[in-house]
């Protein structure tokens, strides 16, 4: 199973189209907020099940602010992250996820990729595919793949 994870597209979809061309077929797409009203368009582009949450720029959105998913044997919390003050660090978010018995927590908001394996949980931010803020400012996204044994493998990838 191959899952594309993106965040913070902010109405700019050219890079998303490029990534989808490169990765398809995918089994699921996760969008971690700030789609800014384009969730239906993004779902159409994905061509597979889409899980999406609202971000701090998703004004008047009916999207949920977070979701708990079951992906294979993994309990996954997806959120934009701003309610957990992730711009100040990821400890509050990790504490919440651990307290809920999650195996993985995914968030957006900071526009910088994070892949952290600590406290018995995987914490993942794909960065922003449209407006990256990390050094080098390369658009980024993440891929989660479940192998034949059901084990999850995560990677951050960059557009060049």
Tell me the CATH number at 63: 3.60.21.10
* Number of structural domains found in the chain: 1
Phi, psi of 123 (to 5 degrees): -115, 125
Rounded distance, CA 16 to CA 41, Å?
11
Q: What are phi and psi of 42, to 5 degrees?
A: -65, -40
Q: What's the rounded Cα separation, in Å, for the pair 6 and 48?
A: 14
- Could you give the percent of the chain with pLDDT greater than 70? 100
Question: What is the percentage of the chain residues whose pLDDT exceeds 90?
Answer: 99
Other residues' Cβ atoms within 10 Å of the Cβ of residue 158 = 14
Rounded-to-integer distance, Cα 87 and Cα 145, Å? 27
Provide the domain limits for residue 26. Answer: 2-158
The reported pTM is: 0.97
For 69-124, what is each residue's pLDDT tens digit?
999 999 999 999 999 999 999 999 999 999 999 999 999 999 999 999 999 999 99
Categorize the per-residue pLDDT at 160 as very low, low, confident or very high, splitting at 50, 70 and 90: confident
């Amino acid at each position: 199973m191959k899952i594309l994870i993106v965040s913070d597209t902010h109405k700019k979809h050219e890079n998303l189209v490029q990534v989808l061309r490169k990765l398809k077929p995918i089994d699921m797409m996760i969008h971690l907020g700030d789609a800014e009203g384009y969730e239906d368009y993004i779902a159409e582009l994905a061509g597979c099940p889409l899980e999406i949450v609202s971000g701090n720029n998703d004004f008047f959105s009916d999207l949920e602010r977070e979701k708990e998913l079951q992906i294979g044997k993994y309990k996954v919390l997806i959120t934009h992250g701003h309610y957990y003050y992730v711009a100040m660090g990821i400890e509050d978010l990790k504490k919440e996820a651990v307290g809920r018995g999650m195996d993985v927590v995914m968030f957006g908001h900071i526009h910088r990729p994070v892949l952290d394996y600590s406290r018995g949980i995987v914490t993942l931010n794909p960065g922003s595919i449209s407006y990256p803020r990390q050094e080098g400012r390369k658009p980024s996204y993440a891929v989660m793949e479940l192998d034949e044994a059901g084990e999850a493998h995560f990677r951050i990838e960059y557009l060049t």
